[in-house]
Amino acid sequence: MSTQHQPEVSPVGLEVEVEVGAVAHGGHCVARHEGRVLFVRHALPGERVVARVTEGAPRDSYWRADAVQVLSPSPDRVTPPCPWAGPGRCGGCDWQHATVSAQRALKAAVLTEQLERLAGLDAAALVPVVGEGGLVVEAVDGDGVDVEAGLRWRTRVQYAVGPGGRLGLREHRSHRVVEIDDCRIAAPRAAEVDPQAVTWPGAEGVEVVAPQTGDDRLLVVTPRRTGEGRRLRLPTPPAPSSLAVVGEEGLARVRGRTWVAQEVQLPRGPRSFRVTGSGFWQVHPGAAAALAGAVVASAGLEPGEHVADLYSGAGLLTAALADEVGADGTVVSVEGDARAVADARRNLRDLPQVRVLPGRVDRALAAMAADGERVDVVVLDPPRVGARRAVLERVVALAPRTVVHVACDPAALARDVAVLAELGYRLDGLRAFDLFPQTHHVEAVARLVRTG
């Protein structure tokens, strides 16, 4: 006699009452239900909540969930300033339900935990690096930005286009577009582009690039590549705005120009940078100056020294480093993105001590080692995944006295610190900056020095 196999019931939609534990990397906190880990968004440590499962299968070791009811709130809890923040809504902001000071403490806890767990640095080892009081995530000033409120700071906003052609933002871990009336973290000039004012038929996304200073504003449109409604029809954007479309051969100008000017106060004076389209640039108006200052301080350069600036983008850090080493020093700027390389060459053309190398970082480092180039300091600002072992081994082959690592992901930084420790470099300094208020993201600048 056979028995019919009964399909397992999905837990998605199940609601359970849980005590919320520590914060975890990724914008959620850890809870447990019947021995299983729950990663709960929209909760805070110490709260008791009703959590609704959003992802998971019966046999998974963990499920994802949203806190849909708060039974015992944390003293750090506040009402989110944006009506689109919360379960099932826009997924852009992770921490709008916490005070800004609490957000920074959560980010510090995550970065510390990742260094302890992935880099093997215990609390005692971190004290000489971050101080007796522990790591502090620093606020960053920005013209016209209310730092304490954590709003109106984002100078670049990447909108998705919904089924009706209007702009919106995606739900967390979903392709669903949530149409909004206003992004509360958008900087004032970016917020002037009303997401509901016009429709964008045939577009997949629209990025609004609005530097804090000057009159520049650029809208970069990505056409829909597949499915129905692929014929792109462009509305008239608010003035003054340039308009460009991403094509197979690069950025096509529709109106105005395809780049914006970014003005930055570097440690030795102001400088202007040209950035094409939606090319990489920090989105917080105070970020570029803060990071340039932190990197220069960490590098501790002397006139005449030699630097490699890896993943150098449009040349922000290269310019600041070139000021430090002077005419008798050198800075090799390495970048793989062709558009960023073109911007860097234009931005740095008045600095004869700079050499811009296009191409992969590992290959550039191998060529430098083969040529016997002297490198006193290496600065690297890798993508979110980190530099990884293959690149770090080539960095160490150049025997720099100092490595300065700029990281936007705590786990990736911790993994890179662990590799560098194996290769003879110890963590000697660490600063963290709140460049993304209301989100779980945090930027760090780490200094590592040769132990041998």
Q: Mark residue 162 as left, alpha or beta (left: phi above 0; alpha: psi -120 to 50; beta: remaining).
A: beta
311 belongs to an annotated ligand binding site: yes
Token pair in block for residue 343 = 């911007």
- Strands ordered across the beta sheet of 156-161: 177-179, 167-170, 156-161, 203-209, 218-223, 242-247, 250-255
Bridge partners of 177, per DSSP, are 170
**How far is Cα 154 from Cα 147, in angstroms, rounded to an integer?**
12
Token pair in block for residue 444 = 């760090």
Ranges of H-type helices in 139-245: 188-191
Catalytic, out of 82, 90, 93, 408: 408
Element (H, E) at 288: helix 287-299
The alpha carbon dihedral of 303, 304, 306, 311 has a sign of positive
282 belongs to an annotated ligand binding site: yes
> Which among 380, 389, 397 is positioned nearest to 444, based on CA atoms?
380
For this structure, is 408 an active site residue?
A: yes
Token pair in block for residue 289 = 């100056």
Task: Give the end-to-end CA distance of the chain in Å, rounded to a whole number.
Answer: 73
Buried b vs exposed e over 371-385: b needs ≥16 C-beta within 10 Å?
Answer: eeeebbbbbbbbeee
335 belongs to an annotated ligand binding site: yes
Backbone angles phi, psi at 217, to 5 degrees: -155, 130
Q: What residues form the annotated binding site?
A: 282, 311, 335, 381
Catalytic annotation, residues: 408
Q: What residues form the annotated binding site for S-adenosyl-L-methionine?
A: 282, 311, 335, 381
